[in-house]
A and B are shown apart, each in its own frame.
Chain A
Amino acid sequence: MINVTQLSKHFKLYKQPSDRLKELLFRQTRHSRHCVLNNLSFTVADGEALAILGRNGAGKSTLLKILTGVLLPDSGSIELSGKLTGLLELGTGFDPNLTGLQNIRTNGLLVGMTPEEIEQRRETIIDFSELGRYIHEPIRTYSSGMVMRLAFSIAIHADPDIFLIDEALSVGDGHFQQKCMRKIRQFRAQGGSIVFVSHDLNAVKMLCDRAIVLDKGNVIANEEPEAAVNIYNQLLGADNEEPEPERQATGYGNRDVTIEAANLTGKDSAHNIVSSGEMASLSVTIQGQRSLSELTLGMMIRDRFGQDIFGTNSHHLGHQISIKNQQRKQLTFNLPMQLAPGKYTITLALHEGADHTRQCYHWWDNATSFEVAGIRGAQFGGICNLRPTLEEAPL
């Protein structure tokens, strides 16, 4: 359990470090204060996983460092129910010239194991890291993935009561990542608390029970993950409104009618990051450059490998579109987003008839993009949710 009450932390900004000493000697202020954490309070129960979201500089890392004890708070208190290990310490104290085995000892001590515990768990750590005979080689010969695998294995076997994870789950290949995830879930099931800092919103939704959103050192939300992620996205969105350049409509076609803009938003998230199972709407603005009595708007969702995932058009949906010269219209596809988490792009096309082979007015590859993060309802694997039901009958 973690209990944080009214935690505040300021950084004093000095022109140069020696000003701090002058300040002490001459008793005059020589710094400007920068508030990193402002009166923060939250709790994490046993077996609970809390995500911390926030933009860069929101105070996430400082908070983790205070929880670890590496930085000291100005005021406020922290109660921890037991041993705390941070995955931000991944590989701390690794000496590249020593073998993996020798490094297990130093690093193990630093993450809080006793020599006996290290002795007992050595084989398990080596097994989990899948380093095999490389464990007897100096660490400098390892690939970065191997180093991270060893570091994660040591940290997870330190058997803490509280685990701090800072963007550390990008360890090794997919197979190893899943192994880590399983281990973390198991840790939680046994009553361990987790504090998780990540920009991987899918991982946040999948792993955590609750999320707090930090902004300029304040908790602006303390909610279940999906709601918190949406608040976080709006925060990011507000940031980007100015600099985001107007997307230029590109592509090819005779441009008798053109696609001016397109974007996909979730009904609940109000953002282009949506949950799997959420209703999303794809709005497309088109403009006629001459009058057409009959035209078709088509869309195709592609995954990050460029593979077609799903596509349809107004013709198949039985919707007639006509447009006059210089007229603007907005068309909206309502899509129940039953796709697996991941990043997708949407390609749009305006053409005549059922497909674009007869007459193509405007074809725009990657007109917009969106991300699916987290799953509502039953978990699934693969690329889409077929929403199955299961029955059982005696025979």
Chain B
Amino acid sequence: MRIPFVIFTFTRQDLIERYSGSILGGLWSLLMPLVNILIFTVIFSKIMGAKLNLANLESSPYNYSLYLISAMLAWNCFAATVTRTTSLYHEKAGIITKVNIGLRALPLYIVLSESIIYAISFSFFLIFTIAIDHPPGWSLLALPVVFLLQQIIAYSLGLLFATLAVFIRDVRELTGIIFHLWFWFTPIVYVAEILPDGWGSLLAWNPALYFVNAYRQIILSNQLPDLQFLAIAALVALLLAKLALTVNRRLQSDIRDFI
């Protein structure tokens, strides 16, 4: 079996064919995240808009939208990749138990599919930034690097959780809750400064914070993310990937027995 073709086909099924027969078709893949963003923009820009004073950003009614969407799109992609990968073995058990398909290759279709959704959503966002006359600058070229690191981490976490979920069913439910909490513990819809004293230092332990900041630096302030962050992120991504792959390889015979 040629794995790239299989991954490609699953991705296509995931994005388009799932909705075949509906009028909007593949657009449904994008609709939910976009509605989500719209709701946050409409509701929170009224409350938060005035308070948003970021350095290097001239005052504009759209500031909050830029602030929110730059982080939210990436977060949605990250969270969806991890949570969907976590329940992958369970969902695709019918295929895994019948066809010899790589346990570590299979999750790649989710990574690909969610990345494509991100890319398309981001294109809409770019059009929006141009429309409001605040297009990102050359620093945008650094965005794929940050995104790649994010998705390597997402794949590794997802694979790790998926492996655990075979043995402990609760992991699937738990992942959903963790990501919900994590979302609100990360300054995506709010500004870190509104947190009460003491929380700020706690926030420093949240790795997602550094990614969110990197995206905002690139999109809002036209700055490159700092090299120290990139170096640490790359190291973490590689170590996590190594760990997830090793654990999965070590347990693959058991995974196949248990599914």
Contact = CB atoms under 8 A, between A and B. Distances in A.
A53 interface: no
Contact of A92 (B94, B167, B258): B94
Interface of B is mostly: helix
A120 B169 CA distance: 43
Contacts of B257: 11-12, 71
B168 interface: yes
A279 to B, nearest CB: 44
Given A71-B256, A86-B98, A92-B98, A17 B1 contact: no
B30 interface: no
Interface string A84-114: 0010110011010110001001100111101
A114 B5 CA distance: 8
Contact of B99 (A12, A21, A89, A102): A89
A92 B253 contact: no
Interface in B238-258: 252-254, 256-258
Interface in B1-26: 1-2, 5-6, 9-10, 13, 17-18, 20-21
Contacts of A111: 99
A138 interface: yes
Nearest to A94: B94
A263 interface: no
Contacts of B97: 65, 70
A68 interface: yes
Interface in B188-223: none
A17 B9 contact: no
**Secondary structure type dominating chain A contacts:** mixed
B8 to A, nearest CB: 9
A239 to B, nearest CB: 27
Contacts of B9: 105-106, 109
B167 A18 contact: yes
Contacts, number: 76
Which residue among B6, B99, B164, B168 has the maximum number of chain A CB atoms within 10 Å of its CB?
B99
The range of chain B's interface size is 20 to 34
A21 B164 CA distance: 8
Given A21-B167, A102-B20, A70 B96 contact: yes
A109 B5 contact: yes
Given A11-B257, A21-B167, A115-B5, A68 B99 contact: yes
A92 B17 contact: no
Contacts of A20: 167, 254, 258
A97 B21 contact: yes
Contact of A95 (B1, B17, B99): B17
Nearest to B171: A18
B166 interface: yes
A84 to B, nearest CB: 8
A69 interface: yes
Interface in A57-96: 65, 68-72, 86, 88-89, 92-93, 95
B100 A70 contact: yes
Can you list the 7 inter-chain pairs with the closest CB atoms, starting with the nearest?
A69-B100, A72-B253, A17-B167, A92-B98, A89-B98, A18-B168, A110-B99
28 contacts: A12-B257, A17-B166, A17-B258, A18-B168, A20-B254, A68-B100, A70-B96, A70-B98, A70-B100, A71-B253, A72-B253, A86-B98, A92-B98, A92-B99, A93-B94, A95-B13, A97-B18, A97-B21, A98-B13, A102-B20, A106-B9, A109-B2, A110-B6, A110-B95, A110-B99, A112-B1, A114-B5, A138-B21
